[in-house]
Amino acid sequence: WITFFPPTCCGPFGWFCAGVTVLFGVTLLCVAKRSPVEKANVLVWRLLPVLLGLLCVATLGAAEGLVVFCGTCLISSAYLGSRALLPVGDKAVLITGSDTGFGHALAKYLDSLGFVVFAGVLHKDGPGAEELRKTCSRRLSVLQLDITNATQVKEAYLKVSEKVQNTGLWGVVNNAGILGFPAGGELLPMSMYRQCMEVNFFGAVEVSKTFLPLLRKSKGRLVNVSSMAGGIPLPRCAAYGASKAALSMFSGVMRQELSKWGVKVAAIHPSGFRTGIQGTSNVWEKQEKEMMENLPADTRQDYGEDYLLGLKDYLLRMPAYCEADLSPVLSAILHALLAKRPQGVYTPGKGAYMFPWVFCYLPLWFYDFFVSKMMNTESVPRVLRASEAKSKNL
């Protein structure tokens, strides 16, 4: 003991530092005992400063040790403040787009945690809705909710209000969305731009505005599921990316404006996950036909039939580049719903942070090159192929 704590550190001030450190550690052990869910975080991020404090007092001296100890305590407190979760209790959450994908998995996940879940679906009698009824508890209610239909949104609001009554609605998760046909911005028909904006942006705004009185009453959470494509430009995502960018901006503005009401707003920007958002082969054929019918003759000639018909192959390759495990997104949404200090933006999934970092901090020419290689956008229109071949012959 004498060897570990030199005589210079064993004065009154040194013993005070050691006493504060020990008291702090005992308090945190009690906190960990009361909160099993956060026990690992508490033990790692709060006991670490305790041990570091003792070490600093022993090696640096009392004054220096106390400074380092206080600094590490502040850092760990800030970290744990963002990690601490509120109890689920009887909190009620509305989720749009619960037929498949993130919404479907989230409805099951929140139900298993004890939430009162209102699962909005596009097809109330569809397979996704039926599975929710069969596998989830009686707390979960399936609601017919086409977010582009103002009447259905209003009816859903009345049903939710009637059920929650004085308890209030804690959260709204705007998850419903469509991808559209992945083609160049010049090739997409205007109807695809309008459809993406109608579902991905205007629908989410309609739901948010309708249910905000309930969220303001409970000082709850508004969570908007955007996309990595809503923060950075990605090839073949002109319509989808533009609509998600609008949703991300809406989320940021609402986060600022609703803070005075105690409502916290978060945007989720996932990378690629296998959610089925790309649709089925029947949907692809319909979208492809619509695109081909609306192309001007000269544009169709310049791009070439083989290039245009090959666009659908990208849809077939998409699942290979997407993650099957949806848990990172579910965890991010849960944190946004329950954290005492939720983040404004979450980026779950591989590449969801890397791509924006490259876009923000490196030259644009490098970002464009990086994205073209990562997304395999190597197909070339007919006119450009002919021009390249002619240049080589010369």
192-226 per-position pLDDT tens digit: 999 999 999 999 999 999 999 999 999 999 999 99
pLDDT score, position 318: 73
Task: Please tell me which residue, 83 or 286, carries the higher pLDDT value.
Answer: 286
pLDDT score, position 30: 60
Instruction: Please state the separation of Cα 183 from the chain's center in Å.
Output: 24
pLDDT digits (tens, 9 = 90+) for 40-65: 455 555 566 666 666 666 676 656 66
Indicate if the pLDDT at residue 335 is higher than 90. Answer: yes
Q: Name the active-site residue from 109, 157, 240, 314.
A: 240
Indicate if the pLDDT at residue 79 is higher than 70. Answer: no
Indicate if the pLDDT at residue 242 is higher than 90. Answer: yes
240 is catalytic: yes
Crossing angle (nearest 10°) for helices 62-83 and 12-34:
20
Q: Which residues have a Cβ under 8 Å from the Cβ of 335 and sit 6 or more positions away?
A: 85, 342, 343, 346
pLDDT score, position 233: 93
End-to-end CA distance of the chain: 85
Portion of the chain with pLDDT greater than 90, in percent: 52
Dist CA 93 CA 389 (whole Å): 58
CA distance to 26, 30, 58, per residue, from 17 (Å): 14, 20, 10
User: 92-374: what fold?
Assistant: Rossmann fold (3.40.50)
Amino acid (one-letter) located at 394: L
